[in-house]
């Protein structure tokens, strides 16, 4: 098998016989990787094309060498303990790295270990999570921490299968934790990784299919660097995040895999990776009420199940209502409307539904008893979803 590691060694042996230190200057690293690419291309041009597993195996040397010199400095990489890796991976799901950094640091400052997470009150947990979205992820973190306290002596399990028994931990997160924190050779395949692998192989398989993801996981188990599993997975993450990017043209000139990438060779970026079309999201019209009485604002707690469960929100009505309909509704609720004006429109996109919101700022003599009256300066103490950010800013006098 022609692995990247084997090819890199051959390229180095054509030099002065000394293996360069991976911590040396970036130029030496780049020259060494370029030599590896050249050897790979010669092997294929001589009538010996790499098969699927050989091509994936060939990623190891160039990719790991590149990662040594190009890995971003991220707070969860500074001390990759199992707890820190687990928290960061859950936060990073469907959230940008730059957005996660301050959340991660605040979260770890207040909840530094499994015990603290298991014992935190839910409302405080949701406040710490506010803005990251997908609040069930936070609830599952706390549930899993409780199980770790009762069944694993407060430790994050180090076995791939054991981790997947815990709430909120699937194959990707389990693979990331055991490889990065425990050094075990398990793959961690997410959307970024699927894009990189599909392009390396010029695969036109639908990456939304679970069977395709499982096949790539199986392939990586056979080909990934067993003694550097954490660095292997993180190098794939890194290439997918900063080189083989999801939007726009890939930066192939900066990619350590360009010499073996069949998509680069065939200029196929516009068609790979392939994703089957998703069903259109359901659109829901909603009317949001910013009810004021003196210095008090009305909020309410959402149900314990369903979308945005247990979070707080501004009162609302289904559908797009007129100012007259809103006034009638509040009078029936026992409030006398003093003034009503438009609070503008806003949209928020969830995974499977899209809210189109129309807001009204309503001054009343008293907040209806069915709602919680909160002093304006206290409102940010309550976990309010990002869906209402436009209206939160309006209440706080922000532009």
User: Which contacts of 50-55 are long-range, i.e. CB under 8 A and separated by 24 or more positions?
Assistant: 50/2, 50/260, 52/201, 52/219, 53/1, 53/219, 53/222, 53/223, 54/1, 54/2, 54/3, 55/200, 55/201, 55/260, 55/262
- The answer to whether the beta carbons of residues 195 and 247 sit under 8 Å apart is no
b/e per residue 217-233 (b: at least 16 CB within 10 A): bebbeebbbeebbbbbb
Cβ burial of 9 (10 Å; 0-12, 13-18, 19+) is middle
Catalytic residue among 89, 186, 238, 313: 89
b/e per residue 369-392 (b: at least 16 CB within 10 A): eebebbeeeebeebbbbebbebbb
- The answer to whether the beta carbons of residues 32 and 12 sit under 8 Å apart is yes
Tokens 């994703």 sit on residue: 275
Q: Is 161 a catalytic residue?
A: no
Q: Where are the alpha helices (DSSP H) in 165-228?
A: 171-180, 191-201, 210-223
- The answer to whether the beta carbons of residues 118 and 149 sit under 8 Å apart is yes
Measure Cα distances from 347 to 294, 299, 335 in Å. Answer: 28, 19, 28
First-last CA distance in the chain: 60
Residues 6+ apart with CB under 8 A from 210: none
**Count of beta carbons in the 10 Å neighbourhood of residue 161:** 11
Residues tagged active-site: 89
């Amino acid at each position: 098998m022609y692995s990247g590691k084997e090819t890199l060694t051959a390229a180095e042996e054509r030099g002065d016989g000394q293996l360069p230190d991976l911590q040396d200057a970036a130029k030496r690293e780049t020259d060494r990787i370029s030599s590896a690419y050249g050897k790979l291309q010669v092997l294929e041009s001589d009538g010996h094309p790499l098969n699927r597993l050989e091509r994936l195996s060939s990623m190891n040397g160039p990719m790991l060498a590149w990662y040594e010199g190009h890995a971003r400095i991220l707070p969860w990489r500074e001390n990759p303990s199992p707890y820190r890796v687990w928290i960061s991976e859950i936060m990073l799901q469907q959230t940008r790295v730059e957005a996660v950094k301050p959340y991660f640091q605040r979260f770890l400052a207040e909840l530094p270990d499994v015990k603290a997470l298991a014992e935190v009150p839910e409302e405080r947990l949701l406040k710490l999570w506010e803005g990251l979205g997908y609040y069930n992820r936070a609830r599952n973190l706390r549930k899993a921490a409780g199980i770790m306290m009762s069944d694993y002596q407060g430790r994050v399990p180090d076995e791939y299968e054991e981790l997947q028994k815990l709430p909120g931990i699937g194959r990707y997160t389990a693979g990331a934790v055991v490889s990065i924190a425990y050094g075990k050779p398990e793959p961690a395949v997410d959307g970024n990784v699927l894009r990189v692998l599909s392009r390396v192989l010029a695969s036109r398989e639908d990456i939304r299919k679970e069977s395709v993801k499982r096949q790539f996981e199986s392939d990586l188990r056979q080909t990934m660097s067993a003694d550097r599993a954490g660095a292997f997975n993180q190098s794939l993450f890194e290439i997918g995040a900063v080189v083989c990017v999801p939007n726009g043209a890939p930066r192939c000139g900066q990619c350590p895999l360009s010499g073996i990438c069949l998509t680069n060779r065939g200029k196929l970026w516009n068609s790979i990776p392939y994703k089957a079309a998703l069903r259109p999201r359901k659109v829901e019209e909603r009317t949001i009420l910013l009810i004021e009485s003196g210095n008090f604002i009305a909020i309410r707690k959402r149900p314990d199940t369903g979308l945005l469960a247990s979070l707080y929100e501004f009162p609302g009505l289904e559908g797009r209502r007129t100012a007259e309909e809103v006034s009638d509704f509040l009078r029936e609720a026992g409030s006398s409307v003093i003034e009503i004006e438009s609070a503008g429109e806003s949209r928020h996109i969830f995974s499977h539904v899209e809210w189109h919101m129309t807001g009204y700022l309503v001054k009343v003599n008293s907040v209806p008893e069915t709602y919680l009256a909160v002093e304006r300066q206290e409102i940010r103490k309550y976990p309010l979803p990002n869906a209402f950010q436009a209206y939160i800013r309006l209440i706080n006098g922000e532009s």
